[in-house]
Structure 1
């Protein structure tokens, strides 16, 4: 089991680089994560995904998209996203994370990369293997994965050439770029509210507290959570507390009541009920299975 590390603002803490390049390319098995899925997060790097087995449901900002085996997804810099296995398909995908500054040379970055990274109408793009441009991108992702695995002579140069090919196919696919300041503000406010929850989840939390963190009214706060996360703010708090309890329960000397209070529940029985709703087992059963 792997623990997906993020900070209080939901920014992923994994360093996406090799020794000499700001790039990472690796395989991910979704259900091997400690949560059972890839939790909501964001990063400065752009991301390309290629599904090599099964299917996955990706959420990017407010949208959900099922990505089929053989197809892929482009996720833009700074966008909130998460992924979960679809119908127990044991989904495995290749993940390519790249610093936007590394995609093209510095001289070309301002013209051909920056406008697309900053576009508010381009949080993600489905990459279909049945489209010629899509297959070209997906083949290049797989080739970059093999380049990093094998590290043959001049592989760094091969990678930069393939990145240029990927990006040319992406921007040549006919995007109409938009930059809407209100969309930027929405994303920032959502991140502020989630960050506040992650810093204070062990304390008593009221809806007013969450709304205040995003500089919103209570009703508008609820609308944001419904749009981005398809749940209420307080339900998100409960789910987050349950997720934080998983690591604690895996410790051999943990106590169910102590764990409940550590993650913000003021009743052991309520913790057990909510844990069962989320994990389909009791905390004790989870502890015995994973300790």
Structure 2
């Protein structure tokens, strides 16, 4: 199974169905450059995620950190963490993605002791999984096995999957990560999501820095520091980038004109939209639209 596009709501929460089997998990391959954006856009979800890069190299952003993941290695991304992925140097990166509900990792009786503390830890937004570490290789091999179980659907494969999930989690715990719980980190994550949610709900309207800051209960200067620290951009530049992302979907429609698209996503000038689109996508909106129509 190949996952191409993600459906996210106004808070960047991933709404993509994460069930490739009857259990609350999904395991599929992703080719990064086949996504409509050419990369996996920033999003988050309640599920935990394990990644295994099977071809090329990927660059992941998880909250404020940027992580290069080599072929053969992987990544654990914790529940609720903002993350995105892009191909490194056009390597044609392909990775296996295992998403699953934290409540399904272990039995209900064991969840409070062995899962919940790790899900809530503020210093475990992600964990690099190297194939050269014994515990890391064990996790990555198990992720691959789960992917193969789902592809083959042999008898009792669901039981095989649950066995592998318990094994994966034990390997992660055995890694010995010391857990921390910092309230300021929890609050920062919440405020960032609040500001992003407000932008995504109102991107088609006129945007002011003060409005974005108010959504996160911050001053304008603190709002700018949040965006610079987490997203390496300014709030208003993020708005422009997000409007361009939204325009990609509209440009796939045969009857949508460039001017109509520009105004629908919040630009009040067609020429300004064309200029910003070209700077971001390296082609004009019309060229992008024609290329998608011709490739159908």
Matches within 5 A, 1:16-35: 16-35=18-37
Aligned to 2:139: 137
Aligned to 1:287: 289
1:76 Cα deviation after fit: 0.2
* Cα distance in 2 between the residues matched to 1:283 and 1:11: 27
* Cα distance in 2 between the residues matched to 1:251 and 1:103: 41
Aligned to 2:231: 229
* Cα distance in 1 between the residues matched to 2:21 and 2:99: 15
Aligned to 2:64: 62
Deviations 1:109-145 (A, max 9, x none): 1100000000000000000000111000000000000
Deviations 1:163-185 (A, max 9, x none): 11110010110110111111111
Q: Secondary structure at the match of 2:175?
A: coil
Aligned to 1:262: 264
1:3 Cα deviation after fit: 3.0
Deviations 1:14-44 (A, max 9, x none): 1212453111000001111101100000000
Aligned to 2:130: 128
User: Is 1:240 matched up with 2:242?
Assistant: yes
Aligned to 1:219: 221
Matches within 5 A, 1:132-171: 132-171=134-173
* Cα distance in 2 between the residues matched to 1:18 and 1:3: 15
TM-score by length of structure 2 reads 0.97
Aligned to 2:111: 109
Give ranges in structure 2 of 5+ residues lacking alignment: none
Q: Secondary structure at the match of 1:20?
A: coil
Aligned to 1:77: 79
Q: Secondary structure at the match of 1:125?
A: strand
Q: Secondary structure at the match of 1:64?
A: strand
Aligned to 2:7: 5
* Cα distance in 1 between the residues matched to 2:176 and 2:125: 15
Q: Secondary structure at the match of 2:274?
A: helix
Aligned to 2:92: 90
* Cα distance in 2 between the residues matched to 1:248 and 1:157: 43
